[in-house]
Amino acid sequence: MEAGTLEIGVPGMSAYELYIRHNPDSQLTEEEYAESPIQAAGVALAMVEQLEETEVSVKQAEQLRVQSEQGREASEQARATAEQARITAEQQRVLAEQTRAVNESARQKAEAGRQAAETKREENTAEAIRNSEEATRKAEDEAARVRTLADNPPKIVEVNGMAYWAFYDLETQQYVTSPHRADDGTIVQQVEGSAVSLDIKGGTMYVCGELTSLTIASVENSTKPSILRFTSGTTATQFSYSENFNITGWTKPEENRNYTICILFGAGNMTYDE
């Protein structure tokens, strides 16, 4: 519009009339049309405020999310720490259980050893008691035998006008005449003890009791005969002699037999009583 054609104060169509011309179907009144910009501005302002509030809410929500994430990470770290502590505790428990099992096995072995030792001790004690009782019985029997032989020493009996030695037999409780002559000046020597070592002299009769061991340490080479009598009891007599002593007959006494060793010219012969 050119400046020269503008007329001020000339009546024309109002804005509402122009609106109606272009929107003939609109139901807005002129008053409503006049208030629409204000309402629109209010709506826009409200939307702006709502957007601002939404932005604040979004920021707060993000802060809460960040805080929650930090809390989750802290919780996860705490959980991982607790899990590691649990694993360590479980390892220690397993190790402690293994140690306990080893100690229990050692204890059971020690207990079995103790019981075995106790059983052995009881057996040894019982055996020692039996041995002691047996030794006491043997000692009493030996003492009784020695007393009996002392009360009944070897004696000389006459057979067909010739003198022979007779020995007391403990089983029959009678004298038994031996084949050994007594008129040749033989010396009779009673030998005491159960473990005997002898130096054999010619012309001597050695009368021993029940022997556990007999050692002939030396033998005199004599023209006079020597006689050695002994009993091998429930435990056979351990017999030994010098290397230069020649002996025939029995050289290993048996249990529960009476033996006679005849020695002449340094050599001997062992027989047992039938």
Least confident of 110-124, 179-193, 254-268: 179-193
Q: List CB contacts of 120: < 8 A, sequence separation 6 or more.
A: none
- In the chain, the percentage of residues whose pLDDT exceeds 90 is 38
pLDDT at 58: 87
The DSSP element (H or E) to which 13 belongs, if any, is none
Is residue 4 predicted with pLDDT exceeding 90? no
Q: What is the pLDDT, as a whole number, of residue 14?
A: 78
* Average pLDDT of every residue of the chain: 84
pLDDT digits (tens, 9 = 90+) for 18-35: 778 878 887 878 777 777
Residue 6 has pLDDT above 70, yes or no: no
- What pLDDT, on the 0 to 100 scale, is given for residue 186? 76
pLDDT digits (tens, 9 = 90+) for 107-122: 999 999 998 999 999 8
> Reduced to 3 states, what is the DSSP secondary structure of residue 18?
helix
pLDDT tens digit sequence for 45-87: 676 677 788 888 888 888 889 998 898 988 899 999 999 999 9
User: Within 13 A of 49's CA, how many CA atoms are on the CB side?
Assistant: 6
The encoded tokens of residue 264 equal: 């002449």
Q: What share of the chain is helix, strand, coil (3-state, %, to 5)?
A: 50, 25, 25
Q: Tokens for 218?
A: 């030396």
Structural domain spans, the chain: 14-151, 154-272
Place of tokens 């003890």: 193
What are the angstrom distances between the C-alpha of 197 and each of 67, 216, 238?
Answer: 110, 6, 11
d(C-alpha 81, C-alpha 53), whole Å? 41
